[in-house]
Amino acid sequence: MKQNTQYDKKDASSIERFALRLVDKSLRGLIEKGEVAPSLIKDNQVGKGGFGVALEKYYFKIQPGNESRPDFPEAHVELKTTPLKRTGTGLWSKERLVLNIINFMDIVGEKWETSSFLRKNSLLLLVFYLHEKGVAVIDLLVKLAGLWEYPAQDKEIIRQDWNNIVKKIKEGKAHEISEGDTYYLGACTKGANRKSKRQQPFSKILAKQRAFAFKQRYVNYIIRALLERQKFHIADTGRIIKDASELKAKTFDDVVIGRFKPYLGLTTLQIAKKLGIVIKLKAKNYNDIITRGILKVDRSKIEEFEKAEVIVKSIVLEKGGGLKESISFPYFKYKELIKEKDWDNSGLKQMFEKRFFFVVYRKGNKGERTLVKVMFWNMPYNDLDRHVQSVWKKTKKRVIQGKYNELPKISDNPVAHVRPHGRNAKDVCETPDGKTATKKCFWLNAKYIREQIGRI
From residue 216, alpha-carbon distances to 134, 169, 285 in Å are: 23, 23, 26
| Residue 131 and residue 174 share a domain | yes
Q: What is the mean pLDDT of the chain?
A: 91
- For the stretch 207-223, pLDDT in tens is 999 999 999 999 999 99
Give the DSSP per-residue string, 65-123: --SSS-SBTTTTBEEEEEEEEEETTEEEESS-EEEEEP-HHHHTT--GGG-HHHHHHSE
pLDDT at 108 over 60: yes
CA terminus-to-terminus distance, the chain = 66
* One domain, residues 167 and 187: yes
pLDDT tier, 100 (very low <50, low <70, confident <90, very high otherwise): very high
Note whether 311 and 429 are same-domain residues. yes
pLDDT at 193 over 70: no
The β-bridge relationship of strands 203-208 and 90-93 is unpaired
User: In this predicted structure, what is the pLDDT of residue 68?
Assistant: 79
- Amino acid making up residue 378: N
Q: What is the pLDDT, as a whole number, of residue 233?
A: 46
Sequence letter at residue 266: L
pLDDT score recorded for residue 166: 98
Both 195 and 323 in a single domain?
no
24 domain residue, yes or no: yes
> What pLDDT does residue 144 have?
95
Q: What is the mean pLDDT of residues 80-86?
A: 96
- Residue 43, pLDDT > 60, answer no
Same-domain check for residues 257 and 194: no
254 and 315 share one domain: yes
Of 75, 111, 116, 85, give the one whose Cα is nearest residue 99: 116
Q: Which amino acid is at 292?
A: R
My answer on whether 367 and 292 are in the same domain is: yes
On the question of pLDDT at 229 being above 90, the answer is no
Residue at 95 is within a domain = yes
Quote the pLDDT of residue 1: 44
Confidence band, pLDDT 50/70/90 cuts, at residue 424:
confident
Last residue of a domain, one of 169, 204, 228: 228
User: What percentage of the chain exceeds 70 in pLDDT?
Assistant: 92
Domain count, the chain: 2
* CB-based burial label for 216 (10 Å; 0-12, 13-18, 19+): middle
User: Residue 17: inside a domain, yes or no?
Assistant: yes
Q: Which of 51, 60, 64, 58 is nearest to 33 (CA)?
A: 58
Domain finish residue from 228, 251, 280: 228
Residues facing residue 278 across a β-bridge: none
Q: Are residues 393 and 443 in the same domain?
A: yes
Residues 200 and 277 in one domain: no
- What's the average model confidence in pLDDT over 77-96? 94
pLDDT tier, 148 (very low <50, low <70, confident <90, very high otherwise): very high
- The percentage of residues in the chain with a pLDDT greater than 90, rounded to a whole number, is 80
Q: Where are the alpha helices (DSSP H) in 144-263?
A: 152-170, 216-228, 246-249, 252-260
H or E segment to which residue 437 belongs: strand 436-438
Task: Determine the Cα–Cα distance for residues 239 and 156; give it in Å rounded to an integer.
Answer: 14
**Residue partners of 314: CB distance under 8 A and separation at least 6:** 287, 288, 291, 359, 360, 361
* Within-domain flag for 3: no
Task: Give the Å distances, CA to CA, from 280 to 286, 289, 290.
Answer: 7, 11, 12
Long-range contacts of 24-31 (CB under 8 A, 24+ apart): 24/141, 24/142, 24/143, 25/141, 25/142, 26/138, 26/139, 26/140, 26/141, 26/142, 27/54, 27/55, 27/58, 27/59, 27/137, 27/138, 27/139, 27/140, 28/138, 28/139, 30/59, 31/58, 31/59, 31/138
* Contact criterion met (CB below 8 Å) for 179 and 345: no
pLDDT at 227 over 90: no
Could you give the CA distance from residue 337 to residue 295 in angstroms, rounded to a whole number?
37
Predicted confidence at residue 34, as pLDDT, reads 55
Please determine, for residue 285, whether its predicted confidence score (pLDDT) is greater than 90.
no
| pTM (global) more than 0.85 | yes
For position 361, which CATH number holds?
3.40.600.10
Residue 4 lies in a domain: no
- To the nearest 10 degrees (0 to 180), the angle between helices 268-275 and 286-294 is 50
Instruction: Find, among 178, 371, 365, the residue nearest to 267 by Cα.
Output: 371
Are residue 168 and residue 274 in the same domain, yes or no?
A: no
Query: 111 with 249, same domain?
Result: no
pLDDT interval class at 253 (50, 70, 90): very high
Range of the domain at 175: 12-228
Grouping H, G, I as helix, E, B as strand and the rest as coil, residue 303 is helix
In this predicted model, what pLDDT tens digit does every residue of 364-409 receive, in sequence order? 998 899 999 999 999 999 999 999 999 999 999 999 999 999 999 9
Domain boundary among 194, 228, 262: 228
Tell me, yes or no, whether 290 lies in a domain. Answer: yes
Indicate whether 2 belongs to any domain. Answer: no
Q: Tell me: do 251 and 224 sit in the same domain.
A: no
